[in-house]
């Protein structure tokens, strides 16, 4: 099964990528909130409207593509195929994987270029 058999959904929300000093104000009940805690940092990706006031640094202006469906862990190269199609058009990505699926964030100003690049690569694109 190739990745091109999956539909990619362009989510309507604008997203922000943030660095936090703590968890104050983080809303884990908000859909499409991704929180990562390592020994070196706390990172948050969330809808821009839900960025906590306590954020240390933030990068606004991202849009996200969601791979439709639940991806089996045995599938190989899905994210690589998507990012490869975007790399050919010099579109940078911020990738996030969850237990079920993958998300690729692109800069909002390049979102329509990304739609075209992915369609040209054989993907079906829909708005979510």
Which domains, ranges and CATH numbers included, belong to the chain?
Answer: 3-127 (3.30.2130.10)
Q: What does the pLDDT look like over 29-79, one tens digit per residue?
A: 999 999 999 999 999 999 999 999 989 999 999 999 998 865 555 555 678
Separation between Cα atoms, residue 9 and residue 63, nearest integer Å: 11
34 - beta bridge partners? 45
pLDDT given for residue 79 in this prediction:
84
């Amino acid at each position: 099964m190739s990745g091109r058999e999956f539909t990619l959904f362009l989510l309507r929300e604008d997203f922000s990528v943030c660095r936090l000093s703590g968890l104050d104000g983080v809303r884990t009940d908000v859909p499409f909130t991704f929180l990562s805690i390592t020994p070196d940092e706390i990172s948050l990706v969330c809808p821009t409207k839900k960025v906590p006031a306590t954020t240390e640094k933030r990068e606004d202006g991202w849009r996200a593509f969601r791979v439709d469906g639940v991806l089996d862990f045995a599938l190989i190269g899905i994210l690589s195929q998507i990012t490869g199609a975007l790399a050919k058009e010099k579109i940078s990505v911020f990738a996030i994987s969850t237990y079920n699926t993958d998300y690729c964030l692109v800069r909002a100003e390049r979102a329509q270029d990304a739609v075209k690049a992915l369609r040209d690569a054989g993907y079906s694109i829909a708005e979510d």
